[in-house]
Structure 1
Amino acid sequence: MFNMQEFLDTPLHVVSAGLFISDGKWIHPTRVINSFELIFVMQGSFQIAEGETVYTLRQGDALFLRPGIEHRGLSPSTDKISFYWVHFDFENPPPKKTASSRAAVLNDSNMRILFKQLLHYCNTPTYPPACQNYLLRLAVVEVLLSQSQNSGKGSALIKEIQEWIRVHYDRPITLEDIEQRFGYNRDYLTRIFKRDCNMGIKKYIDTVKMSKAKALILSGNYPLKAIPPMLGIEDYNLFLKMFKYHEGITPRQYRETYVNIHTNKK
């Protein structure tokens, strides 16, 4: 994929962007485009091929597609599908390393926020194009950082704990739960977690839950009071305090921050 420094040194600009939603049987159409494209999956899973390379995309995945190469869906998906997309160009010749690449985005709530902001600015004429380009740049960097961290060696135990927390975010999680699940005492777990992640396990749990909370809030599909139980938090007032502490604003203010988006269903 892109060399990070080459990308940061190369100006780029947004061509178009939107949010795709499909509620029924759908297959990605066959296309050859003349710009780069970044896709970020919000919901569901589907297959897409670029040339001879096949990708299976799931919630939280991002994919870069190159211009001039056919991409197409492989089989109809009956899942509820939604994904953000943005077409973009480099103002100068693009970096040499521009092979398509899929990444599991580590902080998917950041990507949701960036795309929601991007679409807001794209559909609000009073903002200059530079705002869109800046947000696109941040979104691409988020993907590149995820690729870099996913490819690092890291600690196998830490990755296993992180994945367990990610899967069980919808229930109360305590240090005792993690001790029992992985068979190590909390002091050891806390020490290696801080060493590899620069934060304690409790903070990591809160970070995952707040990331999921932001994604649920931005989806607009749930009343705010319905969200805490989906995170394993039964006390709504506690949820409000946690959210305000971590984000600096209330959940309602967070939901209302960005409203203008372009949605397509084909």
Structure 2
Amino acid sequence: MLELSIALPIKVQNGGLFISRGVGRHPARKLQSWEVIFVEKGTLTIQEEDRVFSVNAGESLLLWPQRRHVGVADFPTDLKFYWLHFEVKETNNTAPWLASLSVPQHTRVSDPQYIISLFRQFLSEQEKIARSAALEFILLLILQQITRTEIGEKEADDRGISLAWKAQQLIRTQFHLRISTATLARELHCNADYLGRVYRRVFHLTITEAIHRQRVRAAEKFLLSDARSLKEIAALCGFSNPGYFRQIFHKHTGLTPGVWKRRYCKEHINS
């Protein structure tokens, strides 16, 4: 038989399940312990010091020790949440073990049903007369699941930023072709709506606006260095309709292509 003794830097106090009757609100208090909350149904509105949290179904909240928290709204009738109090021991470098796990204070978990099953398992284990180290292990699993959610969100965010920059590179090199959010998404093997959202978040403009901006920049160069017709320049820059090209050019420069060319040339000669 293999016997192991594992010392965890956490100690469980107690936990429970709250089911609302539609009356009252969370009491005001300042605890010496941490408290992790997971909402299964409804919305829990609670304030910690000067910050208000609205914790929706499928989300977790971590309340810190020595911080006053209080409910700021009455419990809704459909509210159902799990709670668990625990202590964190100091490690050798005096940094809390909890901080090294980077547990987010308020986040949406990726697998709510698994979190629920862990809390139910915890409550079942808590009912036993003899205290078991299983309580700490279950808490550890809960915190790891919450931490994993934040890591997953960071990885998704990094992927979104990468996609946005890849789309930007394609716009710079393919602006003269018939490109759009849909064609870029197909080339990058992603959803068009998702690509549009992450591109706008990174560059603060839509993909269509970015394509138009790149085409107008190219048109400015052609207008200065070529004797081509407006129709030819429009086609070279990816516009199939000269009238639409004039409209977009005016929107981005405030001038028509002809006026822009005359004004720039005049300024260039006078210099």
Assess if the C-alpha contact under 8 Å between 2:13 and 2:86 holds in 1.
yes
Return closer, same or farther for 1:52/1:14 CA change in 2, 3 Å cut-off: same
Higher relative contact order (CA 8 A, sep 6+): 1
Mapped to 1, the partners of 2:182 and 2:20 lie a distance apart of 43
Residue 26 of structure 1 and its aligned partner are, at CA, apart by 3.1
Bigger CA radius of gyration: 2
Residue-by-residue CA offset, 1:97-155 (whole Å, 9 max, x unaligned): 489710101111110011011111011224x4210000000000000111222233155
Given the alignment, which residue of 110, 113, 130 partners 2:114? 110
Question: Does the Cα contact within 8 Å between 1:10 and 1:90 map onto a contact in 2?
Answer: no
Paired with 1:95 and 1:134, the residues of 2 have a C-alpha distance of: 14
**Structure-1-length-normalised TM-score:** 0.53
User: Secondary structure of the equivalent of 2:124?
Assistant: helix
Aligned to 2:43: 45
Mark the CA change 1:95 to 1:73 in structure 2 (over 3 Å): closer, same or farther. Answer: same
1:224 corresponds to which residue?
none
SS of match in other structure, 1:129: coil
Partner of 1:124: 128
Whole-Å separation in 1 of the counterparts to 2:142 and 2:190 = 30
**1:134 matches 2:137:** yes
The share of aligned pairs that are identical, in percent, is: 26
With normalisation by structure 2, the TM-score equals 0.52
Q: Is contact 1:41-1:58 (8 Å) kept?
A: yes
Aligned partner of 2:3 in structure 1 is none
* Counterpart Cα distance in 2 of 1:148 and 1:39: 19
Give the conservation status (yes or no) of the 8 Å contact 1:65–1:100: no
| 2:29 partner SS | coil
SS of residue matched to 2:134 = helix
State the 1:92 CA deviation.
3.1
Q: Which amino acid aligns with 1:130?
A: A
**Letter paired with 1:44:** G
Structure holding more helix per residue: 2
Give CA-to-partner distance per residue, 1:16-36, whole Å, 9 cap, x none: 011011121331110111111
Partner residue in 2 for 1:145: 148
| 2:125 alignment partner AA | Y
In 2, distance between residues paired with 1:59 and 1:103? 11
Say which SS state the counterpart of residue 78 (structure 1) adopts. coil
Structure 1 unaligned residues grouped into runs of 5+: 1-8, 157-181, 194-266
Q: Distance in 2 between matches of 1:99 and 1:69?
A: 17
> CA 1:28–1:57 in structure 2 vs 1: closer, same or farther (change >3 Å)?
same
Which amino acid counterpart does residue 138 of structure 2 have in structure 1?
L
CA RMSD of aligned residues (A): 3.3
Change (3 A) 1:135 1:96: closer
For residue 33 of structure 2, what is the aligned residue in structure 1? Answer: 35
Tell me how far apart the structure 2 counterparts of residues 52 and 135 of structure 1 sit (CA, whole Å): 31
SS of 2:133's equivalent?
helix
Distance in 2 separating the partners of 1:26 and 1:183? 51
Deviation at 1:79, TM superposition (A): 3.4
1:154 and 1:23 mapped to 2: Cα distance? 43
User: Residue type of the partner of 1:109?
Assistant: Q
Cα distance in structure 1, aligned partners of 2:187 and 2:20: 46
Letter of the aligned partner of 1:62 in structure 2? S
Q: How many residues of Structure 1 are paired with residues of Structure 2 in the alignment?
A: 161
Cα distance change of structure 1 residues 26 and 80 upon mapping to structure 2, 3 Å threshold = farther
The Cα shift of 1:47 comes to: 1.1
Does structure 1 conserve the Cα–Cα contact (< 8 Å) formed by 2:89 and 2:97? no
Question: C-alpha separation between the residues in 2 aligned to 1:62 and 1:123?
Answer: 23
Superposed, 1:1-266 pairs within 5 Å as 11-92=9-90, 94-95=96-97, 97=99, 101-126=105-130, 128-152=131-155, 153-155=157-159
